[in-house]
Amino acid sequence: MTTNQALGGLLAVQLALAAFTWWPRPDGPEPQKVFPYAPDTITRVSIESTSTRSRKQDLILEKKGETWGLASGHDFPVIETKVHELLEAMTSLTYRTPVATSPLRHEQLNVDDETPTRRIKVTAGGQESTVLLGAASGKRMNVRFEGHDEVYQVDGMGAWSFADNNGSWVERERLNLDRATLKSVRLKRLDADFELVQADDGVWSLADLADGEQMDRKRVDDLLDALVALTMSKPADPALVKSEPEITVSWRTKDGGEGRYDVVGSDEDALLIELPPSPPFEMASVLPREQMEQTQREDLLVEVAGEGSE
């Protein structure tokens, strides 16, 4: 071996040692899972917030069989993809070194026992764990495990990602019929029963329109807009559903299909609507409610002045 070869080998060893010495290595303990569960083992997620504390009802997502529902909303079906996205995101969160260890910092970091930004209770495999989440900036939050003083800063989600209102988890648009596909729409109440039919040219009129009667197109359009589109304000309590409907709206389509929904209860704030196969829900929209409850057959007609009138 020549002197140059020996020196070259020594230099290689020194470079390797330097690389090993100065190669960046993570500081502190290995990352740990905030929610150490597989997403498909989680069967219940409870979300507490300032809003839920004021209404004295946590938002609860619960899995029964293979289906997720709002346990805090009379088991109303939820948007399954949103739940799965939440579970995937939360089970990927990790923590390492605490940013605070004193209880004196808990309120400042929004993870105190009384008013955390979020208190999340998770049930998986028959076990329950509780984690307090504190609002921070962007997709970052403070995390504290119930019963422990240490607070960790976690990246990947914000505390606000855990939505605390029922409307965030359900499909609020319950019905939106394309009027062009409809053949007829019928409105039935104790004090009214009439049907609107659509001609081939798209013009709507009363099925029993008499000679000399003329439709008020604006009022017809307003009524149809109210009847063929329904937006839910919140799930309804099934115990409030009446045995006989107050209002029934039914329709037939040009291809032979048909459907209906019933107003099965009401109060000063909302109508309770039953649209199979979904459970009942509340609709608080004022204008559609007025159209459903108050429109009479004669309201859809233009007042035509009689002969000889001034």
Of residues 194 and 166, which shows the higher confidence score? 194
pLDDT for the residue numbered 309: 47
What domain range is 223 assigned to? Answer: 173-300
Residue 5 has pLDDT above 80, yes or no: no
The more confident residue out of 304 and 209 is 209
- Asked if the model's pLDDT at residue 307 lies above 70, the reply is no
Dist CA 236 CA 229 (whole Å): 18
Bond preceding residue 276 cis, omega within 30 of 0? no
Band of residue 80 on the pLDDT scale cut at 50, 70, 90: very high
Do 152 and 193 belong to one domain?
Answer: no
Same domain, 139 and 216: no
Q: What is the pLDDT of residue 268?
A: 85
3-state secondary structure of 237: coil
Q: Which of 162, 283, 168 is nearest to 234 (CA)?
A: 283
Spell out the alpha helix ranges (H) of the chain: 3-22, 50-55, 80-90, 217-227, 286-294
Average pLDDT score over residue span 59-76: 96
CA–CA separation, 169 vs 76, rounded Å? 10
Q: What is the CA radius of gyration of the chain?
A: 31
**Over residues 27-43, mean pLDDT:** 91
User: Domain containing 193 — which CATH number?
Assistant: 2.60.40
- Per the structure, the count of domains in the chain is 2
pLDDT (0 to 100) of residue 138? 87
For the stretch 105-115, pLDDT in tens is 999 999 999 99
For residue 268, tell me if it sits in a domain: yes
